[in-house]
Structure 1
């Protein structure tokens, strides 16, 4: 059978497996192994299955990934995420929708620590959602603030995704980090402006908070979070 015909059959089989709700990665693996066995024989398939997984996870550059996750875990257990949230809220919480705006700002700051969107969204959900619900914020706005802020974890340097992309494409990690600063900062500002605009058009979405002494309170919460982190770890 010609390789072109085998390729067409394999592509059709892949679509069938996906339609049967087989996970995409598993479906692609099955089609790839069977197709490789038919085209190149068992020896080639055995070599690829033995060598490719090791070569994929072996690069030294990928060692930063668990270190970023570990750093995020340290920050979470030390309470640094809560301190960042309170520090930003102390500065802008008295504005309408300030709690949701502070959530986006804290997501950006925490994303710069752990480099993961999932970790950022999960952590800030635990910290900010109870506060916004207790203060009468609309659940849609609160959820959107956390979801939008969570995306900043992979954009604001240092980012795990940027590092993996740089390794795969052999690009400069430093240049990619520098290039991500502008869109990352711009995303934070635009998310905050969007929340501010929505709450001004519909004040019921997010009430104002109490005014605090912004600079002193922010410094207090930041210092307490850093000291708590150092004392625990």
Structure 2
């Protein structure tokens, strides 16, 4: 069997395993190990299995994953994320669609803590859906805005998606975090404009909430100061060169634990809950990364990247034409595959093409992560849609998918804007 045929067959088998819901890490372990065994022998496969496991487990940069996850989980169990939502609600809840806009802002703030889209959707779903239901918001708008707003977790730093991309492509985690700031703010703004447009066309979708006094606004803002301070310290510290992303993760986790302990909102029981959840999530991410370092050598041995690169060069689509084709492939795969699985599956194939075309890998990383976000609300998988469904059990799944559709187009617009104006993603990393 030729290497190219073996590589193609391996990817097809991997895709089938993922579609039948075999866990991502186990599917990649099986295909990567078997492929290397086929192309390079059993000793090479066994050697990589042992060496890559140790190399990944001892990689100091990866400490950012458990620390940022812990920071987000502690913020959730102590109610800090709820206070951020309360502050946004107090400021704009009284305008038409204001609760939905406040939910978007709350999702953005929680995303800056957890780095997880699923955690953002779940936490804000539990917090915001009941409030919007109480004020007779359309279930289509309320569930749609939570599912879409939750996707900000993979774009606004600290983002697990950026960490995985950095490890797989050997890029700077700090520069990728900075590259996600302005696109994240742009996407959040487009989401709020989408809510305003929907409520202008159909006023009954988002009734006005009760007015709040300046004193109430002030109290809500004061309650959100601790969590806003943590975000500013961690992200600002990375930008200012005060500490590395790894150190920022440690500082952020320590600060939320300290704030929770001093405010007596963090008990031993709730800390154990947050720590246990963080360990489970970290273990899942680490397994995927270790498996990725088995599948990548298999793909390299198959010569698939060179074949794909040659094919795209032969098509002569130019820089932007090739980029759009690659992003279109991500959009299609996003309808069926989980985001981290897509990164592991595709980056070894597409990165040589990107580097050959002279495309900035930091800019490409932002475009890829934004495209992965779109997959989180795309049928038939749409992980965030199913997360919201688990909270809003009385809302039909079809209604939630209809609710996220306007926000999907807002994300597409954001993607096109960043393609047209790369400096939106590259300005902050360039200033570091």
Structure 1 15/65 Cα, relative in aligned 2: closer, same or farther at 3 Å?
Answer: closer
Larger Rg: 1
Report the Cα distance in structure 1 between the residues aligned to 2:37 and 2:19, rounded to whole angstroms.
24
Change (3 A) 1:151 1:95: same
Query: For 2:143 and 2:175, how far apart are their aligned partners in 1?
Result: 33
Contact 1:87 1:217 in 2 (8 A): no
1:70 is aligned to 70
In structure 1, the partner of 2:110 is 110
Indicate yes or no: 2:63 matched with 1:31.
no
1:114-133 to 2 correspondences below 5 Å: 114-133=114-133
1:12 to partner: Cα distance: 5.8
CA pair 9-114 structure 1, distance change in 2 beyond 3 A: closer
Is 1:231 the counterpart of 2:263 in the alignment? yes
Inter-CA distance 199–28: structure 2 relative to 1 (3 Å threshold): same
Query: Using a 3 Å threshold, how does the CA distance of structure 1 residues 165 and 33 change in structure 2: closer, same or farther?
Result: closer
Counterparts of 1:25-104 in structure 2, within 5 Å, are: 25-104=25-104
Structure-2 change in CA distance of 1:163 and 1:10 (3 Å): closer
Q: Secondary structure at the match of 1:171?
A: coil
TM-score of the superposed pair, with normalisation by structure 1: 0.86
Measured after TM superposition, the shift of residue 207 of structure 1 is: 0.4
1:162 equivalent to 2:162? Answer yes
Tell me the CA shift for residue 184 of structure 1: 0.7
CA RMSD of aligned residues (A): 2.6
Q: TM-score, normalised by structure 2?
A: 0.49
Maintained 8 Å contact 1:91/1:213 = no
Gap change, CA 1:10 and 1:203, over 3 Å in 2: closer
Q: Distance in 1 between matches of 2:46 and 2:119?
A: 37
- Counterpart-to-counterpart distance in 1, 2:162 and 2:152: 12
- SS of 2:263's equivalent in the other structure is helix
Task: Name the CA shift for 1:31/1:96 in 2 (closer, same or farther; >3 Å).
Answer: same
Note if contact 1:103-1:149 (Cα within 8 Å) is conserved in structure 2: yes
Is the deviation greater in 1-10 or in 138-147?
A: 1-10
1:22-69 superposed Cα distances (whole Å, 9 cap, x missing partner): 556544433333333233222122112222223233311110111111
- CA 1:94–1:174: 2 relative to 1, 3 Å: same
Separation (CA, whole Å) in 2 of partners of 1:21 and 1:183: 32
Cα displacement (A) at 1:14: 5.0
d(CA) in 2 for partners of 1:173, 1:16:
32
SS at match of 2:94: coil
Query: 2:158, 2:177 within 8 Å by CA — same for their partners in 1?
Result: yes
User: Per the alignment, in what secondary structure is the counterpart of residue 212 of structure 1?
Assistant: coil
Q: Which runs of 5+ in 2 are unaligned?
A: 228-258, 267-432
Partners in 1 of 2:87 and 2:16 — Cα distance? 52
CA shift for structure 1 position 79: 1.0
What are the residue-to-residue correspondences of 1:128-147 with 2, within 5 Å?
A: 128-147=128-147
Aligned length: 232
> What is the alpha-carbon distance in structure 1 between the residues aligned to residue 48 and residue 106 of structure 2?
44
- Measured after TM superposition, the shift of residue 3 of structure 1 is 4.3
Query: Structure 1 residues 72 and 22, CA, compared in 2 at 3 Å: closer, same or farther?
Result: closer
Instruction: Give the C-alpha shift of residue 140 in structure 1.
Output: 1.1
> Cα distance 1:11–1:98, how it changes in 2: closer, same or farther (>3 A)?
closer
Deviation digits for residues 140-167 of structure 1, max 9, x if unmatched?
Answer: 1111111111111121122222233233
Which range is displaced more, 10-19 or 56-65? 10-19
Which residue does 2:335 correspond to in 1?
Answer: none
